[in-house]
A and B are shown apart, each in its own frame.
Chain A
Amino acid sequence: MFSLKLLPLLVLFGFVQKAAVPPAAPTASAAPSTSRISGRVIDAVTGQPLASAVVAIDSSNPPNSPNSPDSTRVEVAAADGSFVFADVLPGKYVLSARHRGYIAQTYQQHESFTTAIVVGPGFESENLIFGLRPSASISGEIADESDDPIRHADVMLFHQTFAGGKRRPFLIQRTAADDEGHYRFGHLIPGTYFVGVAAQPWYAQHNVRHRVKQESQDLAEGGLQPVTEQNQNLDVVYPASFFLNASDLAGAAAITLRSGDTGIADFRMRPVPALHLLVRTSVADPGQGEQVQVLQSLAEDSSVPIPVGFTQVEPGLMEVTGVPPGRLSLGVNTSHGNEWTRRSQSVQVSSDAEIDATQNDSSVVVSGILKMEDASPLPQPARVLLRSFANGEAFNTTVSATGEFSFKNNPVETGNYELIIIEPQALFIRNLASSGAKTSGRSFQIATAQDVNVTITAARGTAKITGIALKNDKPAPGAMIVLAPLDLKSNPALFRRDQADSDGTFALNFVVPGRYTLMAIEDGWDLEWADPDVLQKYITGSESVQIAANGKIEVKVKVK
């Protein structure tokens, strides 16, 4: 089942519900027959029972109608790990469990999906085996070149995981080292991890080297820090560092954790001379404000801001200090009255350099108009999302009542991009058109550094598919259900997935009308389904389905 809804217990810890929840509807008038949900909680690695595990059930409501917390029932597992929920009314329930030292999870959890338990005459809801995995951790010490701890060092944990059907490292946790340079990431599931550190020498002095031309008579000739040997020694930075001694994620050593493992990743940061960049900007008027922002790229979709200094040497020329070597995103903000415009470019620097940011613009502003196919007014509020195929980076912006939107605050570089309507959810993209960019499905290509204008035609009436996954004519709980568009490459936003529940049933919501291939894949949770080559062998021989607007269809799918 699609679990966009509350996961009981997991959510209890952060339960902040301000709005009132409608009282649970009376389930049945006549005394219905009740059943039990029972089973045992065990250590998934050793098979040992987990006494005192906290187990919860919560009736499984469709998305967008959250459960009342009162509908949650909790039991504590006995010494042999067994638990019983008696007198359970017929229905679908999300089962979850937690235990100290283990990862809290839903029953047979994959990503955010679970196999919900169906209760009622003829359904098996007893003798469930609920395996919890001991949680792992990674900890370590961050020291400087003198072996002093680096307090407040920014430590980042990347998890090699699935997102959108691709396996790649994602930044999942971030913490600051304590006064002893110590950090710790806990509650980790088994898998492959990378650890990176961004820090700056606390003693660094990034002095301006270039003489500032200024009319003010207060500015004495020697108004800058003297370039002495002492000052030079302190004009240093720590390049971003990945375990083990790597400068970027690509070169980082994987830390592979099994259940219950304790990983150690210590760092010793080494200073390198800070770079001085001269950035030529298009500012001519001394009254115009200018700011420079520098981000250091660590991985495809993560970068950290670098606390650089910047000084206007003369109008149109800035000296940027405290710059580390590596791949950087250099942003220049310029004021025009109260308005600020931002231009950014990606640069690779290894020594002092002069950068011309006037010609720059590899950066492109995407803007456009969103209109309804039937020419009806656009429902408000509305938001669209722009996502890069190359690195998964995504920005969202509001759409005005007249349909205009612009990603002017997030200029992008050339490449392939996808547009998605994220609000209102009932709308879907019927068609994408652009005079300047090549469109294909919901995506488009930015080939040159020219701003792009896109017209999105939207329609109402997403459909819902319910069904049952069968293997040898028997329900196949836990199977991965994939609804794939015919054009696999250009429409990642059209994919829908679910996990079959204990009776084999599943539901796919907010399906955009069109033609699809529907698949049920057993043990499919490790597939890189976004890769057309991977999915192709499952598509071959699968049924294709045509989904009409506002359709509600029911299907049977054979598990592969």
Chain B
Amino acid sequence: MLPRIPLFTLLATSLLAAPSFEPPQLPALSSASEEIQNTASFEAPQNSNDEKYTLRGTIVNSLTGEPIRGALVQIYFLGQTSMLTGPDGKFQFDGLPAGQTVITVRKPGFFAEEEIQPSRGGQRLATTGPNTSPIVLKLIPEGVIYGRISEDDGEPIEGLPIQLLAQRLQNGRKVWEERTGTTTDEEGMFRIAELHPGDYFLSAGPSRAPVTFPSKLSKSGAQGIPVTFYPSGSDLAAAAPIPITPGRRFEVNLSLSPRPFYRVSGRIAGYGQGQYVNLQVLDSTGKSVANNSRFDPTSGSFQILWIPAGAYALRTDSPGAQGQALTATVPLIVNSDLSGLHIMLMPTVSIPIRMRLIASRTGSERLSEQENGFPAYVQLVSRDNGLTEMRYGAQQVGERGNSWLQLENVAPGTYEVEINPNGMFYVQSATSGTTNLLESRLSVAPGGSMQPIEIVMRDDVASLSGNVSSDSQPLNATVMAIRERSSMQPILQPADSNGSFQFPFLPPGAYKILAVDHPEQLEYSNPDVLRKYLSKARDTTLSADQAARIDLELVKIGE
């Protein structure tokens, strides 16, 4: 790391200097007016610089309204000035010039409002000058989930993994995320703090080793704690969310019974001599569970010493000859000791990609001829594997001057094909044999070679511009172009604060156009969710090279 040389950012007026060490991003003044306390008094400072002003205010708990003592308040006038609030939650900075500053507030156990909802507003601003009033800033208290895990006889369970999961919208799709995890202590207690408001799911277990051992470890009879989702049961789909609101302390006490742990054994074939095979047992969430598996490369036999009853996928991988990896994934339903499983490793598949660009505009064809300049980036996405998403990215193969993109070491399965053009192009067609990849998923059979994915792209894109109107000011709108009869993801374009927007390029075709205030709260990849809003969308059909205009009414999500 290089030494940190303070960088000093000078803004439009010298009064609005940003700090030197961790410069907060100052929003454009036009969009920030809502954030400024006492808007009426905000005017460009007209007086001379020698007038000094005071900035005072109070920090309060957003939940209780009580003042918060010892909170760190920082402002940025000609560098950073910091102070802690007094016992009454009050702060006061004297001798300031007139102007405007970012103001930040911190205190352990609390979140700043902009931390919880970064999309709503960004940095806080405060104004100094004549006739300003004291300001009030809120801190949001953290949530905590804590509790105790015991066996049904009340004895604490030590060392049990506890994991919080939450759902989040990513590109309009609900995805699961692992959040904080911990393990229970000697008394079976656990505690997870610093939680943002939201819904959490809690899993406890499985225990990494049995709690009861058989008389001989090679015999069956071990018992352990299987995975349990709050409030009970082993199924995430049936789990209840723990609603964490600001300041919520949520207690989770679970009484869990040891259940039989089973042994699974069998034989793996198909790997190269002297090669190692990696074994993974994935639970229904796609997480690797038991790492107490053993594999003997000389005989091919494998053994999983302890695994709770349940439905799993047993995934085996081995590096194969000539760089073509081997893999096999078999479902594993465990409700007794299993032996004699037979797993055959199969070669993974490489899929070449042939791309063609039909260019009608000057300059386009040059890009497709450039070395390394492929007109699109291609990925295979599998979402069949529990909570986790698996992606394969295409890689460049071949030699200089004769190279193409290829998807390598693809395990058998069914995939969505994502094609992201690298310029003002659109995908006219994408096929694999007779399969139209714009409408259907790609099925990869084990061990075979695949015919290439053929992608045809064009550059005769259309464009769409327009204006969003709304009764609320300032305007915060994002326009969505939703392709009809296609698996293609909606295309998003934020509008400026006046509501005007422009899609510089869209594939020709029929669209529903929708303007929403908070796309990050809309599960727009789910057609059932999106359908509710489509009645408020406007239809438009774009032809090649067309530049269209459309005006929209803002649709508020959740109203």
Contact B4 A184 (CB under 8 A): no
In the bound complex, how far is the Cα of B22 from the Cα of A225, in angstroms? 12
User: A interface, by DSSP: helix, strand, loop or mixed?
Assistant: loop
Q: List chain A residues, Cβ under 8 A from B216.
A: 70, 72-74
Q: A20-B295, A137-B186, A179-B144 are in contact. Are A226 and B78 (CB under 8 A)?
A: yes
Residues of B within 8 A of A74 (CB): 213-217
Interface presence of B291 (CB below 8 A): yes
| Contacting residue for A186 out of B81, B185, B295, CB 8 A | B185
B208 lies within 8 A of A13 (CB): yes
Number of A residues whose C-beta is below 8 Å from B? Answer: 57
Measured in the bound complex, the distance between the Cα atoms of B194 and A199 in whole Å is: 18
* CB pair B294 A289 closer than 8 Å: no
B523–chain A nearest beta-carbon distance, Å: 32
- The closest CB in chain B to the CB of A148 belongs to B70
Q: A179-B194, A289-B3 are in contact. Are A225 and B209 (CB under 8 A)?
A: no
> Is the contact region of chain B dominated by helix, strand, or loop, or is it mixed?
loop
State whether A310 touches B3 (Cβ < 8 A). yes
Residues on the A chain within 8 Å of B5, using CB: 212, 214, 311-312
**Which of B6-14, B326-334, B481-489 is found at the contact surface with chain A?**
B6-14
On whether the beta carbons of A230 and B83 are closer than 8 Å, the reply is yes
Per the bound structure, the CA–CA distance linking A419 and B84 in Å amounts to 53
Alpha-carbon separation in the docked complex, A29 to B449 (Å):
53
A224–B78 CA distance with the chains assembled, in angstroms: 8
Residue pair B3, A312 in contact (C-beta under 8 Å): yes
Q: How many A-B residue pairs have CB under 8 A?
A: 141
- Could you tell me if A187 and B186 are in contact, using CB atoms closer than 8 angstroms? yes
Q: Which of A152-202 contact B (CB under 8 A)?
A: 178-180, 184, 186-187, 202
- Give A425 Cβ to nearest chain B Cβ, in Å: 25
B209 lies within 8 A of A230 (CB): no
Q: Are B193 and A222 in contact (CB under 8 A)?
A: no
Q: What are the residues of chain A within 8 A of B84 when measuring CB–CB?
A: 203, 233-234
Q: Contacts A70-B217, A231-B82 known; A311 to B6 CB distance under 8 Å?
A: yes
Which partner residue on chain B sits nearest A150 by CB separation? B108
B81 touches A291 (CB 8 A): no
Q: Is A218 an interface residue (CB 8 A)?
A: yes
Q: Which of B2, B21, B108, B297 contacts A202 (CB 8 A)?
A: B108
CA distance A202 to B110 in the complex (A): 13
Tell me if B6 and A208 are in contact (CB < 8 A). Answer: yes
Which A residues touch B80, using CB under 8 A? Answer: 205, 207, 225, 231
A202 / chain B contacts, CB cutoff of 8 Å: 72, 106, 108
Complex contact B218–A290 (CB within 8 A): no
CA distance in complex: A74, B159 (Å): 21
Given contacts A74-B215, A203-B84, contact A151 B79 (CB under 8 A): no
Shortest CB distance B424–A (Å): 36
In the complex where A13-B209, A184-B185 touch, is A179 in contact with B7 (Cβ < 8 A)? no
Is B448's CB within 8 Å of the partner chain A? no
The 9 A-B pairs with the shortest beta carbon distances in the complex, nearest first, are A179-B193, A20-B296, A70-B218, A186-B186, A74-B213, A230-B83, A203-B72, A312-B3, A223-B8
15 pairs from A and B in contact (CB 8 Å cutoff): A13-B159, A70-B216, A73-B216, A73-B217, A146-B70, A148-B70, A179-B194, A180-B191, A218-B7, A219-B8, A220-B10, A220-B17, A226-B81, A230-B83, A290-B2
Give the B-binding residues of A (Cβ under 8 A). 12-13, 15-18, 20-21, 54, 56, 69-70, 72-76, 100, 137, 146, 148-149, 151, 178-180, 184, 186-187, 202-203, 205, 207-208, 212, 214, 218-220, 222-226, 228, 230-231, 233-234, 289-291, 309-312, 318
Given contacts A231-B82, A234-B83, 10 further A-B contacts (CB under 8 A): A15-B292, A20-B298, A21-B294, A73-B215, A74-B215, A178-B191, A205-B82, A219-B7, A220-B17, A291-B2
